[in-house]
Chains A and B, each alone.
Chain A
Amino acid sequence: KAGVTQTPRYLIKTRGQQVTLSCSPISGHRSVSWYQQTPGQGLQFLFEYFSETQRNKGNFPGRFSGRQFSNSRSEMNVSTLELGDSALYLCASSLGTGRSETQYFGPGTRLLVL
C-alpha cells in the first residue's frame, strides 16, 4: 500500500505570497492532520480533517487554512506569507479520528519564505 504523499516537496516563496500544499493519504485512511515543524518549536499541530470536516484546529492564525476532499485528499493554504512561516509542513493520515489513532506521516513539504 502506498504511503502518504505530499506535493510539492520543496517550495520557495516571497513574503506576502500565498501557497497551497497538497497531501494524499494512505488508501482507506479518512483522517488527515497537518503539522508545522521548525527547529525551535518542534512539531506543532495545525488542523485535522475527517470526512471533509475540520475536527480540530491548533493555535495558528487565520492565514493558515485547509480543506479535505471527498477522496480524503487534503490541501492546506497559507496566505500572506511571513518569514516565520519557513518550515517543514508534514501531513499525517490515520484510519479514523480519535485519541488512539496512529499517525502515518508523509515526507513533508519544505517551505522557504524569502
Chain B
Amino acid sequence: GQQVMQIPQYQHVQEGEDFTTYCNSSTTLSNIQWYKQRPGGHPVFLIQLVKSGEVKKQKRLTFQFGEAKKNSSLHITATQTTDVGTYFCAGPHSGYALNFGKGTSLLVTP
C-alpha cells in the first residue's frame, strides 16, 4: 500500500541553524499536508500543498512540493527554541484517510 516516509527521524540543531525534513511517497499524491506536534501536545495543521512544484512560505518556514508530486520538504531558516516539536507530513490515502509519515523530531538547543 501507499507509504509516506520521512527523514531524518531526529534532528538536533543549535538555535540559529537551519533545519530541513524530507517526505517521500511511494505513489503520486493529489496533495500533501504538514503538521506540527509540540511535546505533550497534539498535531496542528501547518499547510497544504496541491500543485506540482509548489512553494509556500510561512515566515521562517518554506514548504515545497516536488514536480512529480511524490516528495515534499519543510525547511526552517534560523531555528528558534519555539520550533521544537515533531513535524509530520501526510498524504491522502486511497480511502480518504490521511496517511502520516512517522515524523521528524526537532530539538533546538539555545
Contacts and interface: CB of A to CB of B under 8 A. Distances in A.
B50 A45 contact: no
A99 B50 CA distance: 11
Interface in B63-101: 88, 90, 92-93, 95-101
A92 B37 CA distance: 14
Chain A interface secondary structure, helix, strand, loop or mixed? strand
B102 A42 contact: yes
Interface of B: 30-31, 33, 35, 41-45, 48, 50, 88, 90, 92-93, 95-103
B96 A98 contact: yes
B30 A55 contact: no
B42 A100 contact: no
A16 B42 CA distance: 28
A105 B88 contact: no
Q: How large is the interface on A (under 10, 10 to 19, 20 to 34, 35 or more residues)?
A: 20 to 34
Contacts of A106: 42
20 contacts: A35-B100, A41-B102, A42-B102, A43-B100, A45-B97, A45-B99, A48-B95, A48-B97, A56-B97, A90-B42, A98-B96, A99-B31, A99-B92, A99-B96, A102-B45, A103-B33, A103-B35, A103-B43, A105-B43, A107-B42
The 4 closest A-B pairs by CB, nearest first: A99-B92, A56-B95, A42-B102, A43-B100
A94 to B, nearest CB: 9
A104 interface: yes
